[in-house]
Amino acid sequence: TTDIAAILGRLAVAPINPAWSTGNISGPSEGGPLIACFSPVDGAHIAAVGEASAADYHAVVAKATEAFATWREVPAPRRGEIVRQFGEALRRHKDDLGALVSYEMGKSLQEGLGEVQEMIDICDFATGLSRQLYGLTIASERPGHRMYEQWHPLGVVGIISAFNFPVAVWSWNAAIAWVCGNVCVWKPSEKTPLSAAACQAIIAGVLARHGLPEGISCLVQGGRALGELLAGDPRIALVSATGSTRMGKAVAAAVAARLGKSILELGGNNAMIITAHADLDIALPAAVFGAVGTAGQRCTSTRRLIIHASVYDAFKARLVRAYGQLRIGNPLDEANHVGPLIDRAAVGSYLAAIAACEEQGGHFLVKGEVLSGEGYASGCYVRPCIAEVSPDMPIVQAETFAPILYLMKYEILDEAIRIQNEVPQGLSSAIMTLNLREAERFLSAGGSDCGIANVNIGTSGAEIGGAFGGEKETGGGRESGSDAWKAYMRRQTNTINYSDKLPLAQGIKFNL
């Protein structure tokens, strides 16, 4: 069994600590409302966290703004060194933080540890990046002139993160934002405040050891109203938001209304195309992990399989057999494959989607149900299910954050690609094939319209080195690796005249 009190103690998170609501800066209003934290694993009430009031929020942003004035003057490689030390601290706390994430959020312990590994990886990436924030030198059309561009920090970056990756997605944003010279104000999901508090305690320790301003990393705990404050606040130069498309549209509108910058990483409706030339031995575990991993609550979870008619029946039979072997239960027990959904509201959405699917003509090969009895007392454990559907059913067009897998049949590859693309979302996609023409067609301009397109691996489990995000209702933002850092900085074009003349661009004559 997991000793959660001991884990919280080692992570320096006290069971009731008002300072959580605003990180290590100042407590929330005395006697203010609390956010209760329940574990979906066993339904236990773990702790309560103080909710930040509007006044707390404003104090935090003032503190962050003040810290920015110091942090932007620290050379980028020295900022990288701080992020490297944060990564070292995460290595030391990996087991505890991974277990806390697993217990608070309900994902398997392996996936909780994997999430902390993603944090460590992005710290390594950001440390190297801190010496590579390159601008270009550009040939000037004027004699005696030099033109170049450089990248400067933006200011305060607001990070809104979701329950499903309660720590990793914050770290992708924060680690990159910090080496770029920004300070961060984090509003985590109100469903996972303890994992957030633990991260804040770890980074606060690193900052304190170096005598750096605590406002470099800020935490505000709360719900939608707090997110709205952040989105509408002109002091927040960039809002990076991860979550539902509904939330993203509201954030985007509020940020755009003040002409601020945003990075949006929203819903996915990810498909895997399994062609006649697929290696079914790898397609099977890829599909099953993609669909049931994290209980179907990843943005990148596999929700649709588009299978060639010639292998449809054979693959279907293997899939149904594999689902029969899934062990559902306590995610901290490594013998189990599938843990609980985040809360009972999510169970309600799962049941509603199943009902809608049946009503719209879907046929269930593996039926879903809510599990009860020993080990399932939280009421959040559900059976992963599989339905045969037609692509245009409204429920198949929607993202349901639950382990419901839709099966469709196709004859011609371009038809499969069309089915894949004809949903509002555009995050992740995969093709399983050993045929070069099929793979390249899928990756071409006429192929997958998603931000992530994979060959012979599943839709979930992206590495941090690539840019992460997607198109259409997924929001268009890119986080994590590649050159995603550019969205966290402002580009400045500089032209320097070292001649004794003043030639104008475009050859314009202006004689005084």
Q: Could you give the residue numbers annotated as active site?
A: 265
Q: Which of residues 215-244 bind ligand UN1 (CB under 6 A)?
A: 242
**Residue 247 binds to ligand UN1 (criterion: CB under 6 A):** no
Distance, C-alpha 362 to centroid of its chain: 30
**Least separation in angstroms between CB 240 and ligand UN1:** 12
Q: Toward ligand UN1, which CB reaches closer, 221 or 242?
A: 242
Gyration radius of the chain's alpha carbons: 24
Q: Toward ligand UN1, which CB reaches closer, 118 or 399?
A: 118
| Nearest residue to 35 via CA among 17, 15, 51, 57 | 51
Binding span for ligand UN1 by CB under 6 A among 24-32, 209-217, 459-467, 500-508: 459-467
Binding span for ligand UN1 by CB under 6 A among 348-356, 370-378, 455-463, 481-489: 455-463
Q: Which of residues 102-141 bind ligand UN1 (CB under 6 A)?
A: 118
Length, in residues, of the chain: 512
Apex CA 202: angle with CA 478 and CA 12, to 5°? Answer: 140
Cα dihedral: 273, 274, 277, 281 (round 10)? 140
Q: Toward ligand UN1, which CB reaches closer, 244 or 397?
A: 244
Q: In this structure, what are the phi and psi dihedrals at residue 433, rounded to the nearest 5 degrees? A: -160, 150
Number of residues that bind ligand UN1 (CB under 6 A): 11
User: How many whole angstroms separate alpha carbon 410 and alpha carbon 442?
Assistant: 15
What are residue 410's DSSP bridge partners?
A: 308
**Least separation in angstroms between CB 251 and ligand UN1:** 15
Binding span for ligand UN1 by CB under 6 A among 42-50, 226-234, 329-337, 454-462: 454-462
8 A C-beta contact, residue 195 and residue 186: no
Q: Toward ligand UN1, which CB reaches closer, 169 or 278?
A: 169
User: How many whole angstroms separate alpha carbon 17 and alpha carbon 211?
Assistant: 23
Binding span for ligand UN1 by CB under 6 A among 37-45, 230-238, 292-300, 334-342: 292-300
**Residue 298 binds to ligand UN1 (criterion: CB under 6 A):** yes
**Residue 387 binds to ligand UN1 (criterion: CB under 6 A):** no
User: How many whole angstroms separate alpha carbon 359 and alpha carbon 451?
Assistant: 32
With CB under 6 A as the contact rule, the residue among 90, 237, 346, 462 that binds ligand UN1 is 462
With CB under 6 A as the contact rule, the residue among 33, 43, 461, 503 that binds ligand UN1 is 461
8 A C-beta contact, residue 427 and residue 395: no
Q: Toward ligand UN1, which CB reaches closer, 2 or 117?
A: 117
With CB under 6 A as the contact rule, the residue among 460, 469, 474, 487 that binds ligand UN1 is 460
With CB under 6 A as the contact rule, the residue among 165, 186, 410, 442 that binds ligand UN1 is 165
Binding mask 310-349 for ligand UN1 (x = CB under 6 A): ----------------------------------------
**Residue 300 binds to ligand UN1 (criterion: CB under 6 A):** yes
Q: Toward ligand UN1, which CB reaches closer, 51 or 121?
A: 121
**Least separation in angstroms between CB 405 and ligand UN1:** 16
8 A C-beta contact, residue 167 and residue 94: no
**Least separation in angstroms between CB 426 and ligand UN1:** 14
User: How many whole angstroms separate alpha carbon 361 and alpha carbon 340?
Assistant: 27
What are residue 426's DSSP bridge partners?
A: 471
Here the tokens at position 487 are 């969205």
**Residue 273 binds to ligand UN1 (criterion: CB under 6 A):** no
Binding span for ligand UN1 by CB under 6 A among 89-97, 125-133, 163-171, 394-402: 163-171
Binding span for ligand UN1 by CB under 6 A among 86-94, 197-205, 295-303, 343-351: 295-303
| Nearest residue to 468 via CA among 168, 191, 251, 218 | 168
User: How many whole angstroms separate alpha carbon 429 and alpha carbon 268?
Assistant: 9
Q: Is 386 left (phi over 0), alpha (psi -120 to 50) or beta?
A: beta
With CB under 6 A as the contact rule, the residue among 169, 176, 347, 484 that binds ligand UN1 is 169
**Least separation in angstroms between CB 126 and ligand UN1:** 16
**Residue 164 binds to ligand UN1 (criterion: CB under 6 A):** yes
**Residue 466 binds to ligand UN1 (criterion: CB under 6 A):** no
Q: Toward ligand UN1, which CB reaches closer, 33 or 114?
A: 114
Q: In this structure, what are the phi and psi dihedrals at residue 107, rounded to the nearest 5 degrees? A: -80, 165
Q: Toward ligand UN1, which CB reaches closer, 299 or 453?
A: 299
Residue 356 neighbours by CB under 8 Å, 6+ apart: 394, 395
Provide the pairing of β-strand 156-160 with 236-242.
Answer: parallel
Element (H, E) at 24: strand 21-24
**Residue 299 binds to ligand UN1 (criterion: CB under 6 A):** yes
What are residue 494's DSSP bridge partners?
A: 148
Here the tokens at position 150 are 């450089």
**Residue 173 binds to ligand UN1 (criterion: CB under 6 A):** no
8 A C-beta contact, residue 242 and residue 300: no
8 A C-beta contact, residue 227 and residue 248: no
8 A C-beta contact, residue 393 and residue 425: no
- Enumerate binding residues for ligand UN1 (CB under 6 A): 118, 164-165, 169, 242, 298-300, 460-462
